[in-house]
Structure 1
């Protein structure tokens, strides 16, 4: 095993990246899970919870968008480890502060700061793991990180079930600060150190927009990830609204919807890596899963689901077919050279997360004309259609050598 490429999967950077993503997912989703009980405890009505909750959620997503760009640049200029340390300190302290909040505006500000910090974790972790795992088994590294990481959603939900919403924030922030001690022994990417010694320009975010072809390439990377936040940000976060329209008598918990979606994401990410290895293709593996995800979104909305158990099962299956995130981010990392790899891999998922803002606004805007189900269906057709088209136009990266730079 010592000389086997598979031994790379058990190196400290991979393990710590997986644990870091676990905390990242917990802290990222904790607001979606405690959105209703936290705002109700502050004295808001059901209508106000929906309106104020959307504002706070979008504030978090805006922080993800801003932070993704900033942390990506830092990752290519200063190193992958600098992001892993700085981002976890930012989002952990912000989440602890959320446990003391009493005002919705302060709540929104703290979620914005938390979002900025959270945006650095996944991109830096995926970049580091992609660069240190041998190309023969590269598909398995990031998918292992994502598979373990998504379990954080289940822990977030259970924490909220066992304790009040303030304690749930304290737990998330505390786990992040404890993880800092494990990161002290993590080593930097060798590919980054080589480029750093050569004095090559690094972290130029404007590069992605310097020509039309580069802009389209970057935009396609973003669009491929959009269905993930349609599933989580619309079908999961507003699960209680869909439950009422579908006539499900038992109350639907948005937190439980999100939890089952992320359990599905965990299974899907563990499955997508080996699937890509077997197909010897990133695009085919992602495409098959995305197509199945689109079908399940239709089942969620029009499948005559009449019980809470049935809806939670569809949530799990939708998550499973959306469980290509690790594979997708690895593909983004493989598309770009070492001097821009962290900038791309960190900013792309953050822009995807930021796309939840126009998606939620579009969903709210569609509802008066098309209804809750029809509005979500129209939005889903747009998201999956653009994503599948973008995937077909993106280069295959399976087995690609990563020792190159963008000129």
Structure 2
């Protein structure tokens, strides 16, 4: 039975089957599986190969089913390389391949490894037409698959779940959800015309884009917090900063270019995280000790952040408005600060010792710098949103 709609020889059938291997979507799950194994510290090749093979068949199932539904059932696509029966045979073959890899994994590693892997097939098979019409499932399907690949790749190495792989899985789930929202917004007009409820259709393109960048920003924040708390290696935060630069560049681009930048940025993000986990370049190094500035330590930090606040306010043309807000807030902040110092809530050892009106001079600056910085960030963010 022929697989190809364009010919009947073996080469045509092989070409039709190969057409459903889309590297841009296929490679990330395989890389995520390998990353999960890297998180284990040592890699056993057989479990990694079996898990990656199962992930391949799961994604292949999704591609074949999606093309079948879009062309033969929904009449959305203008063309498709595979026959109707060829799609069904390919689905059956991919399912058998997934089952074989999963059963072998259960035999080599344990039943738990198979149970962690099985959801990948359901995500692939139910992508269309069940999941891709709901704004939540159409957005989270692929990101959830990547997250499961990370968790599963780690599980098949060690036979148990771990906090670190779960943390990285959550980061990529949130990050890729944001990227998927922006990607879907490229087809806003078409999706709306056929009643496909993506996040962009439900919320509108502007609100969906803001939600997408909020998710990406939240994921970067999680990386930094986990790196500081010791869950992730310290250099993981540098990976988040590098990805953040790409995110900033994408904010000024349209949906198509932004998607291209974010997808490639995600590859860089993953590569830098692999370096952070595998090589641990900053392991053993202590944080820079700014305490060498002695009594001027607190004052210097305030000057640095004060300069940042000033730059943001000048850029947003909000210096006068911020100054008024800070002055109105100042009396309340002064009383609050004086009281907490008076009753011993906190102490400030690295300060000049100069006091003004019963509190350290540094605290007066703190009450100016912090609200100014908050207002500067607020005006910058909302000014950028208004300009979209």
Greater CA radius of gyration, 1 or 2? 2
TM over 0.5: no
